Structure 1
Amino acid sequence: MKTLICDCNKTLPLNPQALSQALAQTPGADGAGLSAVHTALCRREAASFQQAAKSGEDLLIACTQEQHLFLALNDATVGAQPVSERPIRFVNLRETGGWSRDGAKATPKMAALLAAAQGPAPEPVATHTYRSQGRVLVIGAADAAQAAANLLADKLEVTLLITRVGGALPQVRAQAVHTGTLKSLTGWLGHFTAEWESSNPIDAELCTRCNACIAACPEGAIDFSYQVDLDTCRSHRACEAACEVIGAIDFKRAPQRSSDEFDLVLDLRATPAFSQHQPPQGYAHVGSDPALLLKATLNLRELVGEFDKPKFFHYKQRLCAHSRNEKIGCQACIDVCSASAIRSNASAKGATKLQAATGHAPGGIIVEPALCVGCGACTTVCPSGALTYATPTAGETGQRLRRLLTAYQAAGGRDAAVLLHSQGTGARLIDELGRAAAVDKAVHGVPARVLPQALWHSASVGVELWLSAIAYGANQVMVLVTDEEAPQYRDALRAQMDIAQAILSGLGYSGVHLHLLQARDARDLADLDAALRCPPAQGVAQAARFAVQAEKRATLDLALEHLLAQAPARAALPEAIALPAQGSPLGSLSVDTDRCTLCLSCVGACPESALADNTERPQLRFTESNCVQCGLCASTCPEQAITLQPRLLLAEGGQARKTTRVLHEVPPYACIRCGKPFGTLKAIENMLGKLAGHSAFQGAALERLKMCNDCRVIDMFNDQRQTRITDL
């Protein structure tokens, strides 16, 4: 890959030799071509870019400011491959590193950012396609709805739903008009279904707007919205008489329910139709804000045709710990989703019909790709790895973090802190902080040890990758959240950070390793500037070399193993580290042996094979490393004998959590006829005690309960034969 760097009119302190050497020591990175530092690559030295563009090599340009100019220049360069055949990558060294009080010390950071940007691009993923024909429903008062329709009508097929009396519609009917109260709105771009109820005496679709009713009404209860104000109307019915020929007014008409399908929805009411933080694509709620109305109409006008978006998630039902046998366990993904894209599929009733109709077997969850916005929060809180992020995958993100930290260390960097932020508002805030630092000596800017990395969404990376970053040599992981993130995302990230920090502190690493930074806009830059300069924490003495795995639990185990091996005071570690209960993916179980009958219902309910029986004897066995603390065993247990214990077991160097151990064992009950063991002593005794007073279980019938299945059948057969002989 050919890399072009520019000091942006000598405002960046670049050291090309040091950068080249650091990249040479990073596996897969390329330091060739860094010997020349440009000063005005986007202006008088643009010929150097054109020459590189004609070389046929992959290009990385260390400038994001003039990204659009370079792309246009590539298209205008004779002999250069089009971007569709050879994408050009861009990396920001200016605002993220050079424009800072630490700019002179930022060479290791710049090498790290270049190495990460040179890594392989994420693999393409499946997409979801929206199809819109441009049918838009505008909901609101007559004046506002008609004004919005005028902005859309030249490109879209507009339908109005007038929700209250008052205002004015034009004399000429240019759009379909309905009146009433919106009862429900479901769907997404290209697939909305609206249902409304009309109870007004005037049928807006029949009305010809002849205005005879307005002239006839003595109270003035009808205006140019062509609806009767029932609070003002005194039931003279003069309007009904005036409209007799048309028949649009009928005070005896029962409320009418109507529904229709639309591709887009513009909502001008004060209260939106969707309460979630992320409404569906194709829906815009603007209320009475003119600025929002302009923005929404410009966006809606372009939403005609087919639109593809990545399918951001992979779901493996076999790993899902949400439900078993209609019992609910983990529902972290459902609770955290701000787009209401995830719903339970726990019910097994009508299983065959359900699977035939939806393609989903009962159990687990259903994720609607059309509603998913790609935040990845569900994959972050999922304890089992049933939900994983698809673009980039965890493996691709892990590889990027490893390259980043390897190059930083190779260039002599110390005390690295990884800053994860969104590529939208988060990236803009980082840019604004760098720009402020370039002109204001009171602003520090992004410190030299802080390595920013953009994500599609800052909630898409969780505890297994944070701990992997620490294992790779980072001292800290910072996550920047903005107004893009729903409140539940912040709560989930904070809970996951509490778990990761408890593990690191319990292993003896000093300091605070996980930081959740919050900033809305430029008004919060001073606080962000101060938060980024927090003191470093203690990291590992030797960086890990493992690769992030496709399975979340496998990655978590690798990170934990390395952090345990590198623990500062390994000899003095406790047997176990207690973890916060909220969201912990690790832990054990406590079984009340006085209550447990070893019915083994919990074994059948466990989705991760953490619980198992023993075919040779009545035992309940447990493998702690498999447990995801979903709680299905506890909710299934008929004796309520199971309690979750969030923790990380460190005994035997961490191997004890991978070893199967017995949680409960009782003597078997021996058949009174053949002596073969069946069931458990406690279970049979409990059953005998409960059924002893039942009329159907007296005498021989009660004794049969003490027999195994085979002997019970034989005894019943013998009893019936003896009865027949006696009868004869």
Structure 2
Amino acid sequence: MPLDPQALGKALDENLTLHSTLCRREAGAYQQAIKTGEDVVVACTQEKRLFAELGQQTEGAVSPIRFVNIRETGGWSRDARSAMPKLAALLAAAKLPEPEPVATVTYKSTGRLLLVGPLELAERFAAGLADTLDVTIFSRGGSGAQERRYPVMGGRIESLSGWLGAFRLSWSQDNPIDLDLCTRCNACVAACPEQAIGLDYQVDAAACKSHRDCVKACGVAGAIDFTREPQAHSDDFDLVLDLRQLPAFAQHAPPQGYFHLPPADATGAKALETLLKLRELVGEFEKPKFFAYKQKLCAHSRNQAVGCNACIEICSAEAISSEKGRNQIKVNPNLCVGCGACTTVCPTGALTYTYPRAPEQGAKLKTLLATYERAGGTQPVVLVHSQERGQVLVEEVGRAARVGKLQGVPANVIPLPVWHTASLGIDLWLAAVAQGAAHVAVLATSEEAPQYLEGLRAQMAVAQAILNGLGYAGNHLTLAQAGDAAALDHEMQALARRAGAVPAVRGRFAVAAEKRTTLELSLDHLIDQARGLPEAIALPAASPFGNVLVDKEKCTLCLSCVSACPASALGDNPQLPQLRFTEKNCVQCGLCVTTCPEDAITLQPRLLLTAERKQPRVLNEMKPYGCVRCGKPFGTLKGVEAMLGKLAGHSMFQGDAIERLKMCGDCRVIDIYSAQNESRITDQ
């Protein structure tokens, strides 16, 4: 790599010594460094195992050690000599403190495996797993070995649910042949005149003519009983290997501990890989709890009315559901795979990503962009990619560039690995642009569910509309798709030239834990640097910003919308019949629309740029209606007139009683009580 120690050291405010063959001849320098107690960054990931072993063997080693790849990400590239600003940025980010620990989710597996599929195929896989796992087979087709080596169940599967260590199978035993009693003597197969019984010992009800010759042939074992009613059964398993053509779980991200291997993939590398993974899943396992949920911010529902369903609709693991009666969602941490897409589309920040948290991710972006600029870099492009498939592709591009087959990661493209690309959203994208990123690209590979891509495109359309509306020309956001190294190399070369206009950076801010706070910080900076602002920017429907329009002819000021609003955007006036609105708080969830009994409310996605956005304004007001008895205002003229019209035919409000509808609550009670007393006196 054509490294420039002086340029890197200047950008990092440090004196650097270049060790070009550190992992072999100069390993002693590494051992000396890790005795100092200072943070040590090793700019090599290929020999991570070697460095870890050296650290364990070095007496007095006390330094925290971090690793970063600067070779495939920039050192091996066509324009590596101009990549010093990027390499300095990667080194600076590697020195950041480790993210704060997060809560974990624990799985426990004793190795009880359920194999579902054709009997012969299931028995073949069982033979390769039975030495490690406790195997049970569930089969409705195919012939198997005559030797009964594993428990075999049959019937109709009613449901299969759960996750690693906690799967539950429910089935109905509707086969006349009891597989536990069956001795596989094949007498029934030979006796059946219609050949309705196969070597899987299942009776084909459509072919069977009820001769019952099979029952007579099975007289000793007594395994066949056509009079037996289907029996419901259930059992628990830790792992599931599904060998059927269609999987039991249709979602893009099935539960952990479930493996689907259709017959076409039951041989070769994929089958071997699955076997090895299953053998490893015995014991206790932990994963991060990827999300945090604040119910009070949730815009999902209020008073049995549903507003926002964004998180439920985008979750590829079906880990999010609506808790009816509780006005909130429920996230199953055992099913959550940590994609973070729910946090990206959540308009309020009720769901936040914790691995890492937004402030930690923001600190990394801030460090990358500040160091890159300080080192003389221009037009930085942040490439967000996954730590799995995305990282593999980036490294493949670098290695191919080393031998001249590809061009490599451009000097101004800064790779940013994350657990999942859907976990960063509009708040961090706009924060990156506000702090100097000319472009933010999200790399999609074969890992992402289709709904993730739709959600990311929708959020990018909102962010781009805001930036263009503020006068920042060009394209600032891209959803890049690549399935191999060549495609990614092509995408990155285009990204290097796809830079939008950015604001002047006047002090970089820290990303907040709350999504709306970060959005406001980013918008304030972007608006402050913009020139010739319009009054408002029209935004797509997925916008978390917008206006509420009220049809004053329909609205009765019942204020149902006020009680439904989760963001305090809608409010009343205790002194006057008014509906007030603060546009800055509105998240466009739609709860006010679904709650309004008069269908008087519509949403208008937009970003208002005047001072009025942060001030409450009156959407509707009416003349108060005073009680006909005491004169105290208790409603609006329009509201009371609507009530009179709807209840005029009610038996309780006939004759003089209709006047009670024109009274406040206190006077209405007094009037009813007085009328009852008068009635008693008359009766006496």
Tell me the TM-score normalized by structure 1. Answer: 0.91
1:139 aligns with 2:102: no
1:373 aligns with 2:337: yes
What is the aligned partner in structure 1 of residue 223 from structure 2? Answer: 248
Matches within 5 A, 1:549-628: 549-567=512-530, 569=531, 572-581=532-541, 583-628=542-587
Moved more, 695-704 or 451-460: 695-704
Matches within 5 A, 1:93-172: 93-164=70-141, 166-168=142-144, 170-172=145-147
1:179 aligns with 2:125: no
Q: Determine the C-alpha separation between the residues in 2 that align with 1:643 and 1:544.
A: 39
Aligned length: 681
Q: Determine the C-alpha separation between the residues in 2 that align with 1:507 and 1:51.
A: 53
Post-superposition offset of 1:241 = 1.0
Moved more, 697-706 or 290-299: 290-299
Percent of aligned positions that are identical: 61
1:19 aligns with 2:8: yes
Match of 1:432 among 372, 379, 396: 396
* SS across alignment from 1:696: helix
Q: Determine the C-alpha separation between the residues in 2 that align with 1:556 and 1:456.
A: 22
Letter in 2 for 1:575: E
Q: Determine the C-alpha separation between the residues in 1 that align with 2:553 and 2:505.
A: 48
Matches within 5 A, 1:450-489: 450-489=413-452
Q: Is the 8 A contact 1:602 1:611 kept in 2?
A: yes
- What is the CA deviation profile of residues 166-210 of structure 1, one whole-angstrom value per residue up to 9, with x for unaligned ones? 222x23322111012322110000000111223222111111223
Q: Is the 8 A contact 1:585 1:627 kept in 2?
A: yes
Match of 1:59 among 25, 40, 50: 40
Post-superposition offset of 1:591 = 0.3
What is the aligned partner in structure 2 of residue 709 from structure 1? Answer: 665
Q: Is the 8 A contact 1:444 1:529 kept in 2?
A: no
Q: Is the 8 A contact 1:112 1:405 kept in 2?
A: yes
1:211 aligns with 2:189: no
1:676 aligns with 2:652: no
Tell me: CA distance 1:717–1:501, structure 2 relative to 1, closer, same or farther (3 Å).
same
Q: Is the 8 A contact 2:166 2:236 kept in 1?
A: yes
Q: Is the 8 A contact 1:587 1:647 kept in 2?
A: yes
Letter in 1 for 2:215: E
* SS across alignment from 2:203: coil
Letter in 2 for 1:292: K
What is the aligned partner in structure 1 of residue 261 from structure 2? Answer: 286
Tell me: CA distance 1:711–1:219, structure 2 relative to 1, closer, same or farther (3 Å).
closer
* SS across alignment from 1:152: coil
Q: Is the 8 A contact 2:578 2:622 kept in 1?
A: yes
Q: Determine the C-alpha separation between the residues in 1 that align with 2:157 and 2:664.
A: 64
Post-superposition offset of 1:232 = 5.0
Letter in 2 for 1:167: S
Q: Determine the C-alpha separation between the residues in 1 that align with 2:679 and 2:194.
A: 94
What do you get for the CA RMSD once the two structures are aligned? 1.6
* SS across alignment from 2:674: helix
* SS across alignment from 1:196: strand
Post-superposition offset of 1:445 = 1.6
1:534 aligns with 2:483: no
Q: Determine the C-alpha separation between the residues in 2 that align with 1:703 and 1:251.
A: 74
Post-superposition offset of 1:215 = 4.1
Post-superposition offset of 1:230 = 4.4
Q: Is the 8 A contact 1:22 1:407 kept in 2?
A: yes
Q: Determine the C-alpha separation between the residues in 1 that align with 2:38 and 2:528.
A: 42
Q: Determine the C-alpha separation between the residues in 1 that align with 2:672 and 2:212.
A: 84
Q: Is the 8 A contact 1:189 1:283 kept in 2?
A: yes
Letter in 2 for 1:77: T
Letter in 1 for 2:440: V
1:308 aligns with 2:268: no
What is the aligned partner in structure 1 of residue 618 from structure 2? Answer: 662
Match of 1:695 among 646, 651, 654: 651
Q: Is the 8 A contact 1:688 1:705 kept in 2?
A: yes
What is the aligned partner in structure 1 of residue 299 from structure 2? Answer: 321
Matches within 5 A, 1:353-432: 362-432=326-396
- What is the CA deviation profile of residues 418-470 of structure 1, one whole-angstrom value per residue up to 9, with x for unaligned ones? 111111111111111111222126x3221111111100101001001100001
- What is the CA deviation profile of residues 127-162 of structure 1, one whole-angstrom value per residue up to 9, with x for unaligned ones? 010011111100000110001111110011000000
Q: Is the 8 A contact 1:471 1:544 kept in 2?
A: no
Q: Determine the C-alpha separation between the residues in 2 that align with 1:529 and 1:461.
A: 19
Q: Is the 8 A contact 1:128 1:308 kept in 2?
A: yes
Q: Determine the C-alpha separation between the residues in 1 that align with 2:643 and 2:211.
A: 77
Q: Determine the C-alpha separation between the residues in 1 that align with 2:401 and 2:225.
A: 70
- What is the CA deviation profile of residues 297-343 of structure 1, one whole-angstrom value per residue up to 9, with x for unaligned ones? 11011111110111000000010000101110101000010000000
Unaligned runs of 5+ in 1: 1-11, 25-30, 349-361
* SS across alignment from 2:222: coil
Q: Is the 8 A contact 2:439 2:498 kept in 1?
A: no
* SS across alignment from 1:712: helix
Match of 1:448 among 391, 411, 416: 411
Post-superposition offset of 1:543 = 4.1
What is the aligned partner in structure 1 of residue 480 from structure 2? Answer: 517
Moved more, 530-539 or 492-501: 530-539
Q: Determine the C-alpha separation between the residues in 1 that align with 2:156 and 2:351.
A: 39
Letter in 2 for 1:338: S
1:721 aligns with 2:680: no
Q: Is the 8 A contact 2:561 2:596 kept in 1?
A: yes
Q: Is the 8 A contact 1:159 1:175 kept in 2?
A: yes
Q: Determine the C-alpha separation between the residues in 1 that align with 2:340 and 2:505.
A: 31
Match of 2:511 among 544, 548, 562: 548
Letter in 1 for 2:621: E
Tell me: CA distance 1:466–1:66, structure 2 relative to 1, closer, same or farther (3 Å).
same
Post-superposition offset of 1:104 = 0.8
Moved more, 706-715 or 408-417: 706-715
Letter in 1 for 2:587: V
- What is the CA deviation profile of residues 498-521 of structure 1, one whole-angstrom value per residue up to 9, with x for unaligned ones? 000000000000100001101122
Letter in 2 for 1:332: A
What is the aligned partner in structure 2 of residue 638 from structure 1? Answer: 597
Post-superposition offset of 1:234 = 4.7
Q: Is the 8 A contact 2:143 2:199 kept in 1?
A: yes
Unaligned runs of 5+ in 2: none
- What is the CA deviation profile of residues 643-695 of structure 1, one whole-angstrom value per residue up to 9, with x for unaligned ones? 0111100013xxx2111111110000011112111111100011112222333
Moved more, 225-234 or 298-307: 225-234
Tell me: CA distance 1:694–1:73, structure 2 relative to 1, closer, same or farther (3 Å).
same
- What is the CA deviation profile of residues 258-291 of structure 1, one whole-angstrom value per residue up to 9, with x for unaligned ones? 2111000000000000010000000000111023
* SS across alignment from 2:280: coil
Letter in 1 for 2:617: R
Post-superposition offset of 1:220 = 4.7
* SS across alignment from 1:405: helix
Q: Determine the C-alpha separation between the residues in 1 that align with 2:98 and 2:576.
A: 53
Letter in 2 for 1:46: A
Moved more, 210-219 or 307-316: 210-219
Match of 2:21 among 36, 40, 48: 40
Q: Determine the C-alpha separation between the residues in 2 that align with 1:195 and 1:540.
A: 60
Post-superposition offset of 1:292 = 2.6
Letter in 1 for 2:271: L
Q: Determine the C-alpha separation between the residues in 2 that align with 1:531 and 1:542.
A: 25
Letter in 1 for 2:331: V
Tell me: CA distance 1:590–1:316, structure 2 relative to 1, closer, same or farther (3 Å).
same
